């Protein structure tokens, strides 16, 4: 594949990821990882590096959107600074461990995990687990925050996401007001994505992918995702406001199920 074709493919990937992220109201990891998997596979990236490169590049791209989101929630007072400070160190430990583990795991195993997590995320879109009594009892225990922060950080690194899919139900289960739960989760996306980008860049330092890759972070893909999101995320948001919330949630759930199912089949083949 020529350099121009690859650049065009990555640019299209960025545009698609930005639009879908705006449409479904997510940080982008759930959208970007599948898009990057397809792009890197088509770009003839060595098979053993495709999944790790997609995860690392996704984490790096999330840094930009997470920074904007965290600042916006901070200015509006919709993020709990106390819970953020308590969870951030633990979640970064989890992310660094997760990224190190991912880089020592086979591409097939990682693909299975990413596909399975897409299905789990779809289930979380439908079921509000924060209302379950058992979940609330666990979440409100003092030690649970540190343990779950490490666990959620590791999962986020392995799935290439910012973590709000996991943290928002947790904070709601602790009794936090929904808007503050969303804001605090969005703010935690910054240390998660930053630690993830650093972790994947370091863990892939000895991988021979190309001159335009820093470890498991592809710089051309990163620029394409950031530029694409800037160009199309607002269009996705505009269209999202014209679609009924239930239909939007159902569409995103179907999108995740289709992606997850495809990735699982791809891993099994």
Q: Write the DSSP string, 18-74.
A: HHHHHHHTS-SHHHHHHHHHHHHHHTT--HHHHHHHHHHHHHHHHHHHHHHHHHHHH
Phi, psi of 218 (to 5 degrees): -85, 115
The residue whose two tokens read 């979940």 is 135
pLDDT tens figures, 37-59? 888 888 778 888 999 999 999 99
**Would you place residue 88 in the very low, low, confident or very high pLDDT band (cuts 50, 70, 90)?**
very high
Average pLDDT over residues 77-85: 86
Examine the pLDDT at 21 and tell me if it is beyond 80.
Answer: no
Q: Residue 134 CB: number of other CB atoms within 10 A? A: 9
**Would you place residue 214 in the very low, low, confident or very high pLDDT band (cuts 50, 70, 90)?**
very high
The residue whose two tokens read 């840094």 is 63
Predicted confidence at residue 158, as pLDDT, reads 92
Dist. CA 215–CA 36, nearest whole Å: 16
Burial 141-179 (b: 16+ CB within 10 A, else e): eeebbbebbbbbbbbbbbbbbbbbbbbbbbbbbbebeee
**Would you place residue 71 in the very low, low, confident or very high pLDDT band (cuts 50, 70, 90)?**
confident
pLDDT tens figures, 117-168? 989 888 887 777 888 888 888 888 877 889 999 999 999 999 988 888 888 8
Give pTM, 2 decimals: 0.85
Predicted confidence at residue 25, as pLDDT, reads 57
**Would you place residue 27 in the very low, low, confident or very high pLDDT band (cuts 50, 70, 90)?**
low
Query: How many residues make up the chain in this entry?
Result: 269
Q: Is 206 exposed, middle or buried (0-12, 13-18, 19+ CB in 10 A)?
A: exposed
Examine the pLDDT at 264 and tell me if it is beyond 80.
Answer: yes
Q: Are 190 and 66 in contact (CB under 8 A)?
A: yes
Dist. CA 15–CA 175, nearest whole Å: 37
CA atoms within 13 A on the CB side of 176: 25
């Amino acid at each position: 594949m020529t350099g121009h074709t690859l650049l065009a493919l990555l640019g299209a990937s960025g545009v698609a990821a930005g639009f879908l992220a705006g449409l479904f109201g997510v940080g982008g990891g759930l959208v970007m990882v599948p898009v990057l998997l397809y792009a890197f596979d088509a770009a003839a990236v060595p098979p053993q590096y495709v999944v790790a490169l997609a995860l690392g590049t996704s984490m790096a791209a999330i840094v930009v959107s997470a920074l904007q989101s965290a600042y916006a929630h901070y200015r509006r007072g919709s993020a709990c600074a106390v819970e953020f400070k308590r969870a951030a160190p633990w979640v970064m430990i989890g992310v660094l461990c997760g990224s190190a583990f991912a880089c020592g795991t086979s591409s097939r195993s990682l693909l299975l995990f990413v596909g399975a997590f897409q299905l789990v995320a779809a289930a979380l879109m439908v079921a509000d687990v924060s209302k379950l009594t058992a979940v609330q009892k666990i979440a409100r225990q003092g030690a649970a925050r540190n343990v779950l922060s490490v666990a959620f950080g590791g999962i986020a690194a392995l799935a290439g996401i910012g973590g709000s899919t996991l943290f928002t139900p947790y904070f709601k289960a602790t009794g936090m007001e929904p808007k503050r739960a969303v804001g605090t989760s969005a703010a935690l996306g910054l240390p998660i994505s930053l630690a993830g980008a650093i972790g994947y860049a370091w863990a892939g330092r000895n991988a021979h992918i190309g001159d335009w890759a820093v470890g498991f972070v592809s710089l051309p893909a990163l620029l394409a995702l950031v530029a694409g999101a800037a160009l199309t995320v607002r269009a996705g948001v505009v269209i999202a406001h014209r679609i009924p919330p239930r239909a939007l949630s159902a569409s995103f759930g179907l999108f995740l199920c289709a992606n997850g199912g495809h990735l699982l089949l791809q891993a099994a083949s």
